Amino acid sequence: MKRLQILFFSFLLISTQKAQDSTNAEMKIYRGIATHINDLAHTRLDVSFDYSKSWLYGKAWITLHPHFYPTDSLTLDAKGMDLKEVSLIRGSQRQPLKYSYNGLQIRIRLDKTYRYTENYTVFIDYISKPNELKVQGSEAIKDAKGLYFINPLGKEKDKPTQIWTQGETESNSCWFPTIDKMDQKCTEEITMTVPAKYQTLSNGKLVSQVSHNDGTRTDSWKMDMPHSPYLFFMGIGDFAVVKDSYKGKEVSYYVEKEYAPVARRIFGYTPEMMAFYSRILGIEYPWVKYSQMTGRDYISGAMENTTATLHTSALQQDARQLADGNKYEDYVAHELFHQWFGDLATAESWSNLTLNESFANFSEMLWAEYKHGKDAAGATNYHDVEKYLADPSNPSKDLVRFYYDDRESMFDMVSYSKGGRILNMLKNYVGDSAFFKALNLYLTTYKFRNAEAQDLRRVFEEVTGKDLNWFWNQWYFGSGHPVFDITYQYNDTTKKALVLVRQTQQTGKIFRIPLAIDVYEGGKKTRRQVWLENETDSFSFPYTKRPDLIRVDGDNVVLCQKEDHKTLENFVYQYKNAGLYLDRREAIEYCAAHQDEARALDLMKTALKDPYFDLRSLTISSLNFEKPNVKTVFEPLLYDIASHDPERTVQARAIEALGSYKKEQYKDFFITKTRDSSYSVAGNALGALSLIDGPISQFKDAGATVDVQQEKALDITALHKAASSDSAASN
Ligand SMILES: [Zn+2]
């Protein structure tokens, strides 16, 4: 699952409030797995919809067996339903069963005691009323109604009528009775009758479509490999279905019809991603097909329903938006990787959510490196560290948490961004081939099953032959990160360099870190591999000529904060010779803070031509125009970038900076740029013009050709949106 940042933060506010309201006793509840009395074997559903009431009429045939101990009873999760019949299937007959129902669970007395070798099937006839769901004082359930009718009466103009479902965490039991736990798995069949004008999507394969005389059609979907109930999905609406393929399997994109022409530009990397992930994991994409749908008013960012991912409709970017790059490529990568980590091998409990989300998060970096190079991976890593650090409560949380107030609170930047960085450190420590071999063993061992964090440790130990309890205790079952203060001493008499690394975090906990220290001397790099394990560790290196740079954490992998006491010369050297994204970023940031120094400005000039667009943008944004010499020296360079930079978002940033000069001489240039196909370029050009000319109404007089599309950009809201989405994309 990929949560929208904005939702995530508002969710944080709610959860903080809730945490304050809740008693300490609540926080002490151990969140392990639910006791397995019965296990699901198969779920068959037959559903139809009443759009006028936003109801689902359902019939469910649920096949189960006792987990181990014999039992004569069954409890199913079924939230806010009207129950019409609960019976046992006996051949072609149905035998009514005694049951009680409290609005959340059905407690059923079976006809006899069953043993675990015996399957039985219960039949339930029910109505789901997701909008009338009232569950004992729980506020959160309002956002967890499982089944969503979007514009069901067609009264909202410009909004399509859709139905979609959202199971994670335990909301699918709002639309079908089940054991709504992630460590249950079963096969599935869904038959849905819908208005014939709509497309349907569900898990697995579409096995039949039957049209009826009343303008409806019945679609049957079949999923013959077991998966967890929270991954069951239905999506229904007036979609264009754009088809692609991967090794003979259907790959399809369900978008609103006007986006059909750009669907491949939004989702088109999917087959290549499937090939890439299949190759590195050594396990072919495991399911029968892979579809992605966009949903209106979706309550999250995206959800990895098995074979049928649902994305926010924000993915539907038009051709002009796509000129600035697909802002959601990471969503496509993330949800696809979940098809292995989450759907095939599933975390056994929300406490162990890292086994789903940290992997999906890390997959974004793997894809970025494969497709766009080392800098893109470095940028992904850097921005994820920032996301983790953005919330001051994150460093106090363990990655695996058996005590939490609300299971939804597990979906935070600890499970995602920090967990992804932990996997990156693990990969660096054990090496790529051991890392991917361990992932292969994990998936092979736990496919169609569930696992906890210790199971992951065991496979890594099996592959590497190393004891890894220290790593798991520190990163999976512990909290925080090291904060380093790094100093350097050079003694030109004894020809020795001393590196002092002090851990200054105020948590009383000292981290054990394998660390690469690169010493650059006379144009040559020598790597020393050391361990940090004390509050202060010191390392001494002999030299002939004083080193130009000592780079602590040469691979840029350690999740940390740091004060790195290097000189301007060190940073300039680092920018030019160490070469990774973070090496260059740190140097730019240091020079940006020292714009009084000519050598710092020289480096910033160089950085304006950095090979990676994100760092060119950073450099432009870091220029201090309060300083007259900066303003003068950089003006022609900014004009050049505004005109020619290959990346539109960088052009836009330069136009914005150039606009702050408020010079008449650039007016024609800005007017030309308002016609650019990129919203960010056109939007910032308009912003720049407004600084010269004042109110936007004058632009038309100034000679800008305004077509219908550009009216959109002339709208000040769109202008701001373009500018802010540009900066959001780099976060
Ligand atoms: Zn996810």
Q: How far is the CA of 440 from the centre of ligand 1 (A)?
A: 20
Q: How far is the CA of 357 from the centre of ligand 1 (A)?
A: 5
Percent of the chain with pLDDT over 70: 90
Q: How far is the CA of 359 from the centre of ligand 1 (A)?
A: 8
Q: How confident is the model over 20-67, as pLDDT tens digits?
A: 444 455 568 999 999 999 999 999 999 999 999 999 999 999 999 999
Q: How far is the CA of 328 from the centre of ligand 1 (A)?
A: 13
Q: How far is the CA of 173 from the centre of ligand 1 (A)?
A: 20
Residue 343 pLDDT: 98
Give the whole-angstrom CA distance, residue 614 versus residue 66: 56
Give the whole-angstrom CA distance, residue 203 versus residue 231: 8
Q: How far is the CA of 331 from the centre of ligand 1 (A)?
A: 9
* Cβ contact 99:108 at 8 Å: yes
Element (H, E) at 444: helix 432-446
Give the whole-angstrom CA distance, residue 314 versus residue 265: 14
Residue 694 pLDDT: 76
Q: How far is the CA of 31 from the centre of ligand 1 (A)?
A: 21
Q: How far is the CA of 402 from the centre of ligand 1 (A)?
A: 20
Q: How far is the CA of 393 from the centre of ligand 1 (A)?
A: 21
In angstroms, the first-to-last Cα distance of the chain is: 19
Q: How far is the CA of 149 from the centre of ligand 1 (A)?
A: 24
Q: How far is the CA of 363 from the centre of ligand 1 (A)?
A: 10
Query: Position 612: which residue type?
Result: Y
Q: How far is the CA of 18 from the centre of ligand 1 (A)?
A: 24
Q: How far is the CA of 61 from the centre of ligand 1 (A)?
A: 30
Q: How far is the CA of 427 from the centre of ligand 1 (A)?
A: 20
Q: How far is the CA of 373 from the centre of ligand 1 (A)?
A: 23
Element (H, E) at 428: helix 419-430
Q: How confident is the model over 430-456, as pLDDT tens digits?
A: 999 999 999 999 999 999 999 999 999
Query: Position 636: which residue type?
Result: P
Residue 59 pLDDT: 98
Q: How far is the CA of 416 from the centre of ligand 1 (A)?
A: 8
Q: How far is the CA of 2 from the centre of ligand 1 (A)?
A: 5
User: Which segments of the chain have a pLDDT < 50?
Assistant: 6-23, 136-141, 697, 701-731
Q: How far is the CA of 345 from the centre of ligand 1 (A)?
A: 14
Give the whole-angstrom CA distance, residue 559 versus residue 100: 52
- Cross-strand bridge partners of residue 529: 516
Residue 459 pLDDT: 98
Give the whole-angstrom CA distance, residue 542 versus residue 413: 42
Give the whole-angstrom CA distance, residue 318 versus residue 333: 20
Q: How far is the CA of 336 from the centre of ligand 1 (A)?
A: 9
- Tokens (6 digits) for 121: 């099937």
Q: How far is the CA of 642 from the centre of ligand 1 (A)?
A: 37
Q: How far is the CA of 306 from the centre of ligand 1 (A)?
A: 12
Q: How far is the CA of 718 from the centre of ligand 1 (A)?
A: 30
Give the whole-angstrom CA distance, residue 20 versus residue 128: 33
